[in-house]
Amino acid sequence: MYTRLVIIVFLSCIHFQGFSQKLNSKKVKELKNKTLLVGLEEIDEKRSKGLKAKDLEMYKNQIEGNNNALKRAIEKYWKFSSDIQYIPFDEAKELVKKQPEKYFLIRYNKYTDYWRSRSGAGWNKINGVLEYDWGVRYKEIANEIMTLNLDIPSTALMVNLPNLYVSNSDAVYGVMQMQYILTRLNESEDDKLDFRDIVKECNSKILKGKTLLLDKNDVDSDLNWSEIKAIYKYNFKIVTSAEIEKAIINLDPNYAIVQIVSLQVGKGNVNAHIIHETQTGRILGYVVPTVAFGIQGTSLITYNSKIKKKQLKEYLESAECEK
């Protein structure tokens, strides 16, 4: 694979994990016999008081739906450990904080990425004359990003989800990806094996044997089937989101999917493309933004919001052995 300047360190810390703790084989083996707490979202009373009846109902429905999706995913697909409790997040957070030797936690997390700018003081004296700088007014852009986190008690593993409102397949995607990494680390005889070693594995042979499902809404409108075929040398299908959801939920052994997820940078408008094996949750490859360094620092030059020719080439490259 050709050398390119990518945010590999950023991706390792942001999309896949590890804020304060390095998740390695030794740490994961310690989790096996602990109780898994699934922290469920709760109604924010302060927020709910200011909502109209219709908005309040919608707010409650989203929380209930997100919780149900996570519970279903854990109940049906979680095999890593057997002792599981479903409790409110605040309660779970306190338990894992006070008794980390007994508990670990899986929960949603909403990360708000925003940008705010302003100039100096409103009134400035220029050549002895007071002038008002209208740039003092705030300009703000904010996006919420949903992640699935594993805490021990600090966050040790994190999977960025494709939607703020989590569907059943989104929850399965997060749980399976998380479980695959934990299982591989648990089975390793090398206590120093790290999640990054797993993510960087050569998976081109596996990808070759899968049909890659591309969501038609994610494929750039200027890209047609023939152009994709000329670039992507393995089997693929352009399908609806419903077909992708079915493949994820059924753990279909025939497919891999491309999941586009927002990252905690660039006001939530910068995306990673994750190639996910639907049967196991294995990450077969990933594409992250390239960067350029200018006079004013680092600037992102691609947001990766759509599947284009460049991304298709990088899917193949990311699955190769050299990363």
Confidence of residue 309 (pLDDT cuts 50, 70, 90): very high
- Does pTM top 0.75 for this prediction? yes
Identity of the residue numbered 286: Y
pLDDT tens-digit readout, 161-174: 988 889 999 999 99
For residue 153, whether the previous peptide bond is cis, meaning omega lies within 30 degrees of 0, is yes
In the chain, pLDDT over 70 holds for what percent of residues?
78
Which pLDDT score, from 0 to 100, does residue 300 have? 45
Question: Residue 174 in 3-state DSSP?
Answer: helix
- Are 144 and 164 a contacting pair, CB within 8 Å? yes
Which pLDDT score, from 0 to 100, does residue 298 have? 46
Token output for 299:
């600037």
Burial class of 307 by CB neighbour count within 10 A (0 to 12, 13 to 18, 19+): buried
Among all chains, which residue has been given the structure tokens 């109902």?
57
- Worst-scoring range by mean pLDDT, 44-53, 129-138, 247-256? 129-138
Confidence of residue 137 (pLDDT cuts 50, 70, 90): very low
Which pLDDT score, from 0 to 100, does residue 234 have? 96
More confident residue, 195 or 183: 183
- Are 1 and 286 a contacting pair, CB within 8 Å? no
CA distances in angstroms from 146 to 135, 161, 268, 284, listed in the order given:
32, 6, 11, 22
Which pLDDT score, from 0 to 100, does residue 195 have? 72
Which residues are registered as beta bridge partners of 130?
Answer: 125
Whether the predicted pLDDT of 194 surpasses 80? no
Which pLDDT score, from 0 to 100, does residue 198 have? 80
The stretch 105-111 carries a mean pLDDT of 93
Which pLDDT score, from 0 to 100, does residue 233 have? 94
Identity of the residue numbered 220: D
Which residues are registered as beta bridge partners of 272?
Answer: 261
Chain centroid to Cα 231, Å, comes to 26
More confident residue, 310 or 1: 310
- Are 149 and 19 a contacting pair, CB within 8 Å? no
- Worst-scoring range by mean pLDDT, 12-26, 134-148, 213-227, 244-258? 12-26
- Worst-scoring range by mean pLDDT, 41-45, 48-52, 189-193, 212-216? 189-193
- Worst-scoring range by mean pLDDT, 36-50, 56-70, 123-137, 271-285? 123-137
User: Which are the contacts of 238, defined by CB distance < 8 A and separation ≥ 6?
Assistant: 214, 216, 219, 225, 228
